[in-house]
A and B are shown apart, each in its own frame.
Chain A
């Protein structure tokens, strides 16, 4: 297996060639914030918090560290002024959904984010998709999914699957950086127990 050498924040880092920039940085003790990333899941590149500046073969661009493959002689900068500004604004946008999320709070100070910058939103969900992807990719159940698109996108349990699968799993609960998932789950349970088919289902 090949090894490549790259520079991350002026530090020379050796990485396996199949690694991502995020993995290479982590192996060298360089911290890049993430939210939608999870080792067991495919890179999703949706929260955009892990954006870094990547310079390779003379081209400089911003890219998500969680997906960007390492390359020989690549130069990575994880905390430029632009990146700090991007992360601050992204955090502020997410804080409008989940002002008391611990994961977000942990980053607020470092990036100087103002949790009241944007008007608060009715939905707690920050759409990291951890629950949706964990259930689909690891548990292969797809009991929870996204519904609608654009600004109307929300998570939702599929009652038919959730009623059978979730009660003794709930592994996704601890992945959720906000309270959205539990809320959605309780809502589904309430819905299921309201429906006539629930009784039939439980009498079986």
Chain B
């Protein structure tokens, strides 16, 4: 592929790709996301390829491994086009029947369809499945149509048209204005206005300027950011390229862990393809805008997701937080103006440019616009990646999209925001996905939602988070390191039946001091789950301490706690 030299040529290339594709031609999309691969998607793809060859249909049917559509619970997910028939939990043994009946004879195979557990109704199409129905899939909706390893697939669904539009008709200032008007806010949970950050960096005098896409996502149980990068790496790149154009940056980095090799592989391949097509490199789409983007493999460790330690580690220094008085937009990476945004913040940029800020800001609530992609896990029926408009209630997410609690158990709490987040009890489930509303409730809008049922011990769950942070904190400052140490000792005591009077008060003092005195946001937020649990589930603590009883029946005397 020769480099594309102008936005007009890009449209021609796109037309070329589309004209070579017949929308009525049968095609089989198998989710090749990490979760589906773990449940056998690669074997299913191989079986389809073999079966199609066997039946002599190679010229008539396309098969592809596609990006994750989110319904990880029921993987491997297979969607047959053009009818958009959706089969779940497909095994290699099902493949020959699918090809013979569904592809050749257009017959739907009942047993592979989604069955609504409450009504018994079957859903033929993806869009009929309740899990998807209430979602608003602006960011992840095309995933199943796209092979993340194919830039042509991305172009076929309109990919890089926002970049074309920007190069053709927008100045950097206009791009920033559009992003500001859209009210796009930091999806790490910070809620910081992206347009404002970009503008500060653009105006800052230092050169060169850098941008970083934070795809660290060290929260236990969260996988939305990494799954998105894996499923739609070109959307991330397009957002970053537009951002660099607006900010005046010449280098961008994707900061990601290599625990999920698939994610890194797809990101690297996408960069290479974007370079070949002329979306990265010198004179992008014929303009005088040059840019390189690189994948930076982080060394693991939760605290590295924090801005100052992230940049320190990229500079080759010890990855621990530092007290800073300069904004990163003035002195960030290598002391140069830097914009650090969460992966999901970048992902929304092409959408905003394509739709226009006005239309984007109509989605969601007044102050929280657009959609939010969460990973939904725990004791819920439908585990997966979900995209909802801001303003949706958590009750709708858990019960309508998540399909309620597994095994007809009772709902106890929704954990939101990870180790620095909090709990939403039943009586607060009507809380909306909204930065301000969540902040008022003491919650952060992190990427992970974990459902706890009546058999979950909240004390044990909090202990788990404290243990996690006791290991993941860098250990630099006293209130975080020693605060966590002693909180954990007290929690171990409580869950082992040795809780004492005064323990809860001591936990409260420790958490208060930690919140106001810790050096970085990790320590400042480290006891948020503890605090939230003491507020909403104090009775569970009291049962452990006073009655030596774990109401959920989880805490055994010999717990496997981190002994310190």
Query: Given A64-B323, A82-B516, A151-B470, does the pair A48, B475 have CB atoms closer than 8 Å?
Result: no
Q: Does A89 contact B (CB under 8 A)?
A: yes
By the criterion CB–CB under 8 Å, are B486 and A47 in contact? no
Please measure, in the bound complex, the distance between the C-alpha atom of A47 and the C-alpha atom of B518, giving whole angstroms: 9
Interface residue from A51, A129, A153 paired with B517 (Cβ < 8 Å): A51
- Please name all residues of chain A whose beta carbon is closer than 8 Å to the beta carbon of B484 when the two chains form the complex: 150-151
Query: Given A45-B323, A118-B486, A150-B472, does the pair A126, B478 have CB atoms closer than 8 Å?
Result: yes
- Please name all residues of chain B whose beta carbon is closer than 8 Å to the beta carbon of A153 when the two chains form the complex: 474-476, 481
Q: Mark A41-69, 1 if CB is under 8 A from B, else 0.
A: 00101111101000000000011100111
Interface residue from A48, A68, A82, A97 paired with B477 (Cβ < 8 Å): A48
Query: Given A86-B516, A150-B470, A151-B471, does the pair A127, B478 have CB atoms closer than 8 Å?
Result: yes
By beta carbon, the residue of chain A nearest B483 is A93
By the criterion CB–CB under 8 Å, are B325 and A93 in contact? no
Q: Which DSSP category, helix, strand, loop or mixed, fits chain A's interface?
A: loop
Q: How large is the interface on A (under 10, 10 to 19, 20 to 34, 35 or more residues)?
A: 35 or more
By the criterion CB–CB under 8 Å, are B473 and A150 in contact? yes
By the criterion CB–CB under 8 Å, are A67 and B323 in contact? yes
Query: Given A93-B486, A119-B486, A127-B476, does the pair A151, B481 have CB atoms closer than 8 Å?
Result: yes
Please measure, in the bound complex, the distance between the C-alpha atom of A68 and the C-alpha atom of B509, giving whole angstroms: 26
Please measure, in the bound complex, the distance between the C-alpha atom of A203 and the C-alpha atom of B33, giving whole angstroms: 61
- Interface of chain B residues 448 through 481 with chain A (CB within 8 A): 469-479, 481
- Interface of chain B residues 257 through 315 with chain A (CB within 8 A): 301, 303
Q: Does B485 contact A (CB under 8 A)?
A: yes
- Please name all residues of chain A whose beta carbon is closer than 8 Å to the beta carbon of B115 when the two chains form the complex: none
Q: Does A109 contact B (CB under 8 A)?
A: no
- Interface of chain A residues 116 through 172 with chain B (CB within 8 A): 118-119, 121, 126-127, 129, 146, 148-153
By the criterion CB–CB under 8 Å, are A48 and B478 in contact? yes
Q: Does B157 contact A (CB under 8 A)?
A: no
Query: Given A45-B519, A62-B517, does the pair A150, B323 have CB atoms closer than 8 Å?
Result: no
By the criterion CB–CB under 8 Å, are B301 and A149 in contact? yes
Please measure, in the bound complex, the distance between the C-alpha atom of A136 and the C-alpha atom of B450, giving whole angstroms: 44
Please measure, in the bound complex, the distance between the C-alpha atom of A150 and the C-alpha atom of B303, giving whole angstroms: 10
- Interface of chain B residues 196 through 216 with chain A (CB within 8 A): none
- Please name all residues of chain A whose beta carbon is closer than 8 Å to the beta carbon of B510 when the two chains form the complex: 89
Please measure, in the bound complex, the distance between the C-alpha atom of A45 and the C-alpha atom of B486, giving whole angstroms: 21
By the criterion CB–CB under 8 Å, are A127 and B519 in contact? no
Q: Does B489 contact A (CB under 8 A)?
A: yes
Please measure, in the bound complex, the distance between the C-alpha atom of A93 and the C-alpha atom of B479, giving whole angstroms: 8
By the criterion CB–CB under 8 Å, are B486 and A96 in contact? yes
Q: Does A90 contact B (CB under 8 A)?
A: yes
By beta carbon, the residue of chain A nearest B484 is A151
Please measure, in the bound complex, the distance between the C-alpha atom of A93 and the C-alpha atom of B478, giving whole angstroms: 8
Between A45, A62, A69, A148, the greatest number of chain B beta carbons within 10 A of the residue's beta carbon is seen for A45
Q: Does B244 contact A (CB under 8 A)?
A: no
Please measure, in the bound complex, the distance between the C-alpha atom of A86 and the C-alpha atom of B483, giving whole angstroms: 12
- Please name all residues of chain B whose beta carbon is closer than 8 Å to the beta carbon of A121 when the two chains form the complex: 485
By the criterion CB–CB under 8 Å, are B513 and A90 in contact? yes
By the criterion CB–CB under 8 Å, are A62 and B473 in contact? no
Q: Does B11 contact A (CB under 8 A)?
A: no
Q: Does B540 contact A (CB under 8 A)?
A: no
By beta carbon, the residue of chain A nearest B325 is A69
Q: Distance in Å from the Cβ of B496 to the closest Cβ of chain A?
A: 14
- Interface of chain B residues 86 through 114 with chain A (CB within 8 A): none
Q: Does B488 contact A (CB under 8 A)?
A: yes
Please measure, in the bound complex, the distance between the C-alpha atom of A95 and the C-alpha atom of B301, giving whole angstroms: 29
By the criterion CB–CB under 8 Å, are B517 and A86 in contact? yes
Between A43, A82, A93, A96, the greatest number of chain B beta carbons within 10 A of the residue's beta carbon is seen for A93
- Please name all residues of chain B whose beta carbon is closer than 8 Å to the beta carbon of A102 when the two chains form the complex: none
- Please name all residues of chain A whose beta carbon is closer than 8 Å to the beta carbon of B516 when the two chains form the complex: 62, 82, 86
Please measure, in the bound complex, the distance between the C-alpha atom of A85 and the C-alpha atom of B512, giving whole angstroms: 10
Q: Distance in Å from the Cβ of B102 to the closest Cβ of chain A?
A: 53
Between B303, B474, B482, B486, the greatest number of chain A beta carbons within 10 A of the residue's beta carbon is seen for B482
By beta carbon, the residue of chain B nearest A145 is B318
Q: Distance in Å from the Cβ of B156 to the closest Cβ of chain A?
A: 46
Q: Does A6 contact B (CB under 8 A)?
A: no
By the criterion CB–CB under 8 Å, are B475 and A146 in contact? yes
By the criterion CB–CB under 8 Å, are A46 and B509 in contact? no
- Please name all residues of chain B whose beta carbon is closer than 8 Å to the beta carbon of A146 when the two chains form the complex: 475
Please measure, in the bound complex, the distance between the C-alpha atom of A149 and the C-alpha atom of B320, giving whole angstroms: 10
- Please name all residues of chain A whose beta carbon is closer than 8 Å to the beta carbon of B483 when the two chains form the complex: 93
Question: Can you pick out 13 interface pairs between chain A and chain B where the beta carbons lie within 8 Å of each other?
Answer: A45-B323, A45-B477, A46-B476, A46-B519, A47-B478, A69-B325, A118-B486, A127-B476, A149-B474, A151-B470, A151-B473, A152-B564, A153-B481
Besides the contacts A45-B477, A46-B476, what 7 more A-B pairs have beta carbons closer than 8 Å?
Answer: A47-B477, A89-B479, A89-B510, A90-B478, A90-B513, A118-B486, A149-B472
Considering the complex of A and B, which 10 residue pairs feature the smallest CB-CB distances, nearest first? A153-B475, A93-B482, A89-B513, A45-B323, A150-B473, A151-B470, A151-B485, A46-B477, A150-B475, A150-B471
Which residues of A come within 8 Å of B, CB atoms?
A: 43, 45-49, 51, 62-64, 67-69, 82, 85-86, 89-90, 93-94, 96-97, 118-119, 121, 126-127, 129, 146, 148-153
